[in-house]
Amino acid sequence: MKEKSYLNKPYDPEILECSLPKYLEDDIKALKKGYEEKTLHLDCLFNEVEGSIDSAYYDGTISDTQKDYLYDMYVYGEYWRDK
């Protein structure tokens, strides 16, 4: 398995994606499903994920590192480049 890095350090997505609030997990799942199904409202799904990441960060549910990772992975496209 190819090792990826985040902020020039090896990362384990299971660690950075653990303990996410349910609403954020659900939005990420919906985005992945919408991407796979080539939905026409993909932009809305990206916006939902972005808003959920911000909400989780500002209410203290996720760390700064998790926020940056989730943005890089799902909003800015790291996840989608491998697809």
Tokens 């653990």 belong to residue: 18
pTM of the model: 0.81
Task: Tell me whether residue 6 is in a domain.
Answer: no
Give the total number of structural domains in the chain: 1
Task: Tell me whether residue 56 is in a domain.
Answer: yes
Residues 49/74, Cβ–Cβ less than 8 Å: yes
For helices 22-36 and 42-58, the axis angle rounded to 10 degrees is: 160
What's the pLDDT tens digit per position in 27-66?
999 999 999 999 999 999 999 999 999 999 999 999 988 9
Which whole number is the average pLDDT over 59-75?
Answer: 91
Q: Which of 48, 44, 41, 47 is nearest to 26 (CA)?
A: 48
- pLDDT band for position 4 (cuts 50, 70, 90): low
Average pLDDT, the chain: 85
pLDDT at 54 (0 to 100): 97
Structural domain including 43 reads 28-83
Kindly report the backbone phi and psi dihedral angles of residue 9, in degrees, each rounded to the nearest multiple of 5, phi listed first: -130, 145
Residues 23/52, Cβ–Cβ less than 8 Å: yes
